Amino acid sequence: MVSGMLVLAHRGANRLAPENTVPAMELAVERGADGVELDVHRTADGSLVVRHDADTPSGPIGELTLDELLFAFPDVPTLAAVLDVCRGTLVNVEVKDPDPRATDELVALLTDRANDDVVVSSFDWAVVERVQAAAPAVPTGLLSFGMPPDEVLVTAVLRNHAAVHPDVWTLTTVDVGAFVARAHAQGVRVNVWTVNDAEQLEMLRDSGVDAVITDDETLYQLA
């Protein structure tokens, strides 16, 4: 943690181990990250798995059973396995799968694991809305890229989401401190992706940002 700001490992410590794998998550925790960001899809037989891309040489993840997926990619973990590894840290679950069944499976899993520290985000805001409606106690965040931050903030406030997740390139075109103050005044956290520059991270910290997501393990802990 950097002066109250959380630093999350993007898909785990992805420069030290293959992204979105258990070793990447373990290394992130060992190196001092406050949590991790990861991507989730649902298999044809209802397993939630951690992988960025939906497509595989054998077909989309949603059309493969867990066993079929693991035959091709044996290092793909289930979300439950990653949550076990990251217990005690924040896990930003980015839902890639638009299938409502993925949302149902996720809500069921998180309901069974109520003590886990999780925030659910997605670029598909309909997914976030479904999670928020089904499990209001689970914090949700609106992921955005290239959208005016205040427009996203208005939606988050109106729809009772816990956070906005703007990209760093767009966020830094506005007065970051003033935006964060507006968000905090309305009870919304600001979590920023993907921050790989130490000076930029420090500026975001000083502006009151709640969390940043980074690829750089050397930024997990700054003096």
Q: Where are the domains of the chain?
A: 6-219
Confidence check: pLDDT of 188 > 50:
yes
Question: What integer is the mean pLDDT of 55-69?
Answer: 97
Specify the pTM. Answer: 0.96
Q: What is the pLDDT of residues 105-127, one digit of tens each?
A: 999 999 999 999 999 999 999 99
CATH number corresponding to 6-219: 3.20.20.190
Q: In whole angstroms, what is the distance from residue 66 CA to residue 72 CA?
A: 10
Q: Are 34 and 8 in contact (CB under 8 A)?
A: yes
Nearest to 123 by CA among 167, 189, 184: 167
- Helices 176-185 and 198-206: crossing angle in degrees, nearest 10, is 40
Phi, psi of 88 (to 5 degrees): 95, -5
Average pLDDT, the chain: 96
